[in-house]
């Protein structure tokens, strides 16, 4: 790499990086909340794993539910990276789309991106807690999201619902094609 390239990268980071870092700083409490959710999910996932291990009757079941820190740690760190990516994508979408159109600030879109990550994590935590407590529950985030959107705009909610169903149908068709 040449010095010119390093200088260009430094200039680019100085130009764009500071704005992104400002958004990250503004959302520091949301990021802390996300980290707490990830740690809670780790704890409840571990608890569920221990419960399944204790209840396992065969050697195969015990091997399946044996806690592996490397797998759990990797999944936990991947979640941290994924949710940080949601935040950054939301921030960049705000700079690129919503701010120029006067819709909302980049902080709002970054918070929305991070909010999706938090919703996914809460769904996972509820699933682990329900399993540990022996409660059969099925949380449907798709229905919740569509209901919230329909509350604001019936037409937009219908479009979102149709789009999700189309993606689901396409994925099911691809899976059946792969199996044949």
Q: 29 with 72, same domain?
A: yes
pLDDT above 90 as % of the chain: 9
Q: 39 with 127, same domain?
A: yes
How many whole angstroms separate alpha carbon 15 and alpha carbon 20? 10
Is 125 inside any structural domain?
A: yes
Q: 117 with 146, same domain?
A: no
- 48: Cβ–Cβ under 8 A, 6 or more apart, which residues? 128, 131, 132
| Residue 1 pLDDT class (50, 70, 90 cuts) | very low
Tell me if 41 sits within 8 A of 124, measured CB to CB: yes
Say what the pLDDT of residue 7 is.
67
Q: 65 with 119, same domain?
A: yes
Question: For the segment 129-151, what is each residue's pLDDT rounded down to a tens digit?
Answer: 888 888 877 656 666 667 777 77
> How much is the average pLDDT of 83-93?
85
The region of weakest confidence among 62-66, 106-110, 169-173 is 169-173
Counting the structural domains of the chain, the total is 2
Is 4 inside any structural domain?
A: no
Q: 88 with 150, same domain?
A: no
Instruction: Output b/e per residue, 120-147; b: 16+ Cβ within 10 A.
Output: bbeebbebbbbbbeeeeeeeeeeeebbe
Is 88 inside any structural domain?
A: yes
Give the structural domain span for 68.
12-139
Question: For the segment 122-131, what is each residue's pLDDT rounded down to a tens digit?
Answer: 888 888 888 8
Q: 39 with 20, same domain?
A: yes
Say what the pLDDT of residue 13 is.
65
Question: For the segment 18-29, what is each residue's pLDDT rounded down to a tens digit?
Answer: 777 787 788 888
């Amino acid at each position: 790499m040449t010095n010119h390239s390093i200088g260009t990268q430094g200039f680019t980071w100085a130009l764009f990086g500071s704005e992104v870092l400002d958004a990250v700083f503004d959302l520091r409490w949301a990021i802390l909340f996300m980290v707490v959710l990830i740690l809670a999910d780790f704890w409840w996932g571990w608890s569920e794993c221990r419960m399944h291990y204790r209840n396992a009757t065969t050697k195969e079941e015990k091997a399946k539910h044996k806690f592996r820190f490397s797998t759990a740690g990797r999944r936990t760190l991947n979640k941290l990276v994924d949710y940080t990516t949601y935040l950054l994508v939301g921030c960049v979408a705000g700079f690129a789309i919503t701010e120029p159109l006067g819709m909302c600030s980049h902080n709002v879109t970054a918070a929305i991106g991070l909010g999706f990550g938090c919703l996914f994590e809460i769904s996972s935590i509820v699933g682990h807690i329900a399993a540990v407590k022996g409660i059969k529950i099925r949380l449907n985030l798709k229905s919740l999201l569509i209901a919230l959107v329909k509350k604001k705009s019936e037409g937009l909610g219908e479009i979102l619902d149709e789009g999700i169903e189309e993606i689901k149908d396409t994925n099911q068709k691809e899976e059946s094609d792969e199996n044949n």
